[in-house]
Amino acid sequence: MQPIDEWLRKLLLLPPAASSMARPIDRLHFSVISVTMLGATLLVLMGGYYCVRYRRRRPRGPSETRPAAPTPPLWAELGLVGFLFTLFVAWWAVGFKQYIGLAQAPRDALDVYVTAKQWMWKFSYPDGSQTIDELFVPVGRPVRLILTSRDVIHSLYVPSFRLKQDAVPGRYTSLWFTATALGRQPIYCAEYCGTDHSRMSGSVVVLSAEDYSRWLAQPGTRRAGEGNAGTRDAELRTEGERVAARHGCLRCHTVDGSPHLGPSFAGLYGADIPLANAEHVTADVAYLTESMMDPALKVHAGFEPVMPSYAGYLNPPEVSALVEFIKSLKDVPGQSAREHGVPAASAVTLPPPAGSIGRPPGEPLALPSEPGHASEQGFAAPGRELMPLPRAPRETLEQKLGDGGAP
């Protein structure tokens, strides 16, 4: 099978397969291409045959009639239709299975946050290190990319991995892969994003486990004082707990499953979350990240939509640490608001982000007992004063990095 795959790959001018999903995707692609090309060839041959067999050779007299073309039996027509329908369903089933596999990353996947910007890619790793236009990953380990965009829609495309995912402003999408070959694989933007769209490229640098560890240990790549992978994970969880306390997350979210103003972090990761619109979603990395950046998009059923957005305020390493902290509580029994009947009206003290415009630190945020609405300015309810929500600071990413304009 593999020699045929390689022959078809060269025939179709495809790059080498360098990820765990590349070959299954190629085989589906090859089967669709082969059957459609074979069907098109048969139609051309049949059309040519009928053109020659039933062409008019001389002028037809008054009493002459055109010879009738043979009519295929009904069973043959039904058999052909049934075969094509079965083939379509089989392709759909295989493609859907691959789609589900790509949507569900392994639990031990390495999370990397990807920020697209005209016209470059920025990669932020869990330990706080960052790279521009170069994604460093270890071979043989699942890697999950959590993508967003700062300006327009971009699309991260790695041809040798056979993977492509849009990066949408204000939204978080995810993509995962396991690199199977060492070396450098090109990255392209597959969505037109402006005048320099064709120059928005990068590369995935796939290293061995030893080389990846050495790369992490380089000065400026990771923070000093970090030990092995287990130690780094423990420190990341500890940092996530500090982030949660520093930014007021623990004032609304508990860690022991007890009911409060927001969903408890206990047992949250990986759980099936009922939403206010009667839909359900799995609390994975993408959902948790999206809930921090756009909490009003998917509101947990039974809770008021009073959480402010932290887009532009939490940096990617802080988000990664906070998610890792929530992951560490996945085995703690959790409890929902509806199970314990959280009161519809209460007050909580939320410190606004530094540099924000809104209420002074320590002023309580009143939660209304009747339905209200959220806006950019705050949360309003009938008969209540509009309470301003914290705003993200206007410090640009260029100022944070100090690299002369690189995000």
Local confidence pLDDT in tens for the 407 residues of the chain: 577 777 888 888 888 888 988 888 988 988 899 899 999 999 999 889 888 877 766 666 666 666 666 777 888 889 989 998 999 999 999 999 988 888 888 888 888 999 898 888 999 887 778 888 999 999 999 999 999 888 899 999 999 999 999 998 888 888 899 999 999 999 999 999 888 898 899 999 999 989 998 888 875 544 333 334 444 566 777 888 888 888 888 888 988 888 888 888 888 888 888 998 888 888 888 788 888 888 888 888 888 888 888 877 787 778 878 888 888 888 887 654 444 444 433 334 444 444 333 333 334 433 333 333 333 333 333 333 333 434 334 343 344 444 434 44
189 and 167 housed in the same domain: yes
337 and 247 in a common domain:
yes
| Final residue of a structural domain among 316, 344, 372 | 344
User: Does residue 395 form part of some domain?
Assistant: no
DSSP state letters, 269-325:
TTPEEEBTTS-EEE--HHHHHHHHH-TTTSPBTTS-S-PPP-TTTS-HHHHHHHHHH
Q: What is the pLDDT of residues 257-272, one digit of tens each?
A: 888 888 888 888 888 8
Same domain for 301 and 320, yes or no, is yes
Structure tokens at 43: 């139609």
Does residue 253 share a domain with residue 158? no
- Count of domains in the chain? 3
Same domain? 208 vs 260: no
Q: Give the Cα separation of 125 and 76 in Å (integer).
A: 59
Boundary (domain end) residue, out of 103, 118, 143: 103
Q: Which domain holds residue 305?
A: 231-344
Report yes or no on 17 lying in a domain.
yes
Mark whether 98 and 119 lie in a shared domain: no
Say whether both 14 and 80 belong to one domain.
yes
Is residue 399 assigned to a domain?
A: no
CATH of the domain at 252: 1.10.760.10
Same-domain status, 79 and 130 = no
In a domain, 127, yes or no: yes
The mean pLDDT of the chain is 76
Same domain, 277 and 335: yes
* Boundary residue ending a domain (186, 217, 248): 217
Provide the pairing of β-strand 163-167 with 154-158.
antiparallel
Q: Is residue 315 part of a domain?
A: yes
Q: What whole-number distance in Å separates Cα of residue 336 and Cα of residue 344?
A: 14
Question: In terms of domains, do 115 and 99 share one?
Answer: no
Residue 250 has phi, psi (to 5 degrees) of: -75, -5
Assess whether 192 and 235 both reside in one domain. Answer: no
CATH number at residue 198: 2.60.40.420
Answer yes or no: is 388 within a domain: no
Cα separation of the two ends of the chain: 45
Verify that 208 and 284 share a domain, yes or no: no
Burial 191-218 (b: 16+ CB within 10 A, else e): bebeeebeebebbbbbbeeeebeebbee
Domain contains 302 = yes
Q: Answer yes or no: is 309 within a domain.
A: yes
